[in-house]
Structure 1
Amino acid sequence: MATYNEQLQKVWHEYEKELGYIPASLRDALKWGVEKGMIETPTPDPYDKLVEDMSRALREEYKTDRLGRRYRVNHAVRATKNGVQLTMWASMGNAPRLHMQKAFIQRREQIVGDCVQLATDVEVYNDINKEQEPIPMLFDFRDDVAERKTWDNSEAA
């Protein structure tokens, strides 16, 4: 039996094939898959929806410190307890140092993982399309971070 992810992937690839391999919205692909009987619409757990909404709200909460720096207030740490993966949240001003350290490390690991996958994707695309000029991808973000901080500071003024 196919996993849920495999079912979703199959819906996407079949829809893509029928559409002619052009960019498409996932909502349209899912509606198509439901109509074709390839996947059923899930019965939502209201707490899952509330958790998703609160998670988004907490990620989007920012404040500005006395020096004018805009910072994210709430930080999450993924942890496993008794075999169940949980996401534990804390507000920066009240969070224990260990929580914040883990949150920062996990966010950095996500960024590194995204960069590794992006590098691989660009390499594969460039290999598949050798007749075209390769798409370059640089991963030294020092100048980008400095420039963005300058933009953010100028917007706050």
Structure 2
Amino acid sequence: MSAYSNAVKDYVERYKKEVRNDGLVDPHDVAAWAYKNGLHKPNIKTVIDAIAADISQVFREEYRTDPSGKRYRAKHAVNSKGKDNRTLALWADIDDVNAPHGHFVRSFGQRRIQIVGDCFQLKNDVDVYNEKDPAREQINLVLDFTNDVEELQLPIKDSGGKAA
């Protein structure tokens, strides 16, 4: 374990003794307490990483509506390895005519891989849960989303706002 990790563990233990000792730890509360007490002084890289994470979150949350009423995500990322071997996320706006087509091909492909990975992990979790007690009613997991997507694409009724 690194010296940094050990320092963090030390001030988390101090926080638990001095502030909250109920077995629950809120990292934001610990961070605020450690910063206020001079136990953690972020370096410029940490500050830049935090701001970059905020910018990425704003990008992730930006949605628009096309003329036909379809709501779509405006910004899309492609993750790759930078020169220093750290993960680099480059974002492009779907409405920016200068954004290269290949960027969106890669972005949509990466998002699909993430979804497949989530489904794989969910299936493993459900299988393990079901195997722990075969006498219990088994949870059936359907991973074919065709009908779900089609249902979400149905037009919205004018009265009540529910899908048709």
2:76 is paired with a residue whose SS is strand
Displacement of 1:92 in angstroms is 0.8
Counterpart for residue 66 of structure 2: 65
Q: Which has the higher contact order (CA 8 A, sep 6+)?
A: 1
Q: In the alignment, is residue 49 of structure 1 matched against residue 50 of structure 2?
A: yes
Letter in 1 for 2:103: H
Counterpart for residue 27 of structure 1: 26
Counterpart for residue 122 of structure 1: 126
For residues 57-103 of structure 1, give each alpha carbon's deviation from its aligned partner in whole angstroms, at most 9, with x where no partner exists.
10110111111111100000001122222001111122210000000
Letter in 2 for 1:63: R
Distance 1:43-1:129 versus aligned 2 partners, 3 A rule: farther
Counterpart for residue 93 of structure 1: 95
Mean Cα displacement is larger for which, 108-117 or 77-86?
77-86
Taking the aligned partners of 1:129 and 1:41, their CA distance within structure 2 comes to 46
Counterpart for residue 113 of structure 2: 109
Letter in 2 for 1:27: D
1:109 is paired with a residue whose SS is helix
Q: Which protein is bigger by CA-based radius of gyration?
A: 2
Q: Give 5+ residue unaligned stretches, structure 2.
A: 13-21, 34-38
Q: Give 5+ residue unaligned stretches, structure 1.
A: 12-17, 20-24, 35-39
Quote the RMSD (CA, aligned, Å).
Answer: 3.3
| Equivalence map 1:2-13=2 (5 Å) | none
Query: Hey, which of these two has a bigger chunk of helix by percent?
Result: 1
Taking the aligned partners of 1:97 and 1:72, their CA distance within structure 2 comes to 16
Identity across aligned pairs (percent)? 37
Of residues 136, 145, 148 in structure 2, which corresponds to 1:144?
148
Q: In the alignment, is residue 76 of structure 1 matched against residue 77 of structure 2?
A: yes
* TM-score normalised by the chain length of structure 2: 0.68
Taking the aligned partners of 1:68 and 1:41, their CA distance within structure 2 comes to 48
Taking the aligned partners of 1:46 and 1:143, their CA distance within structure 2 comes to 44
Mean Cα displacement is larger for which, 48-57 or 108-117?
48-57
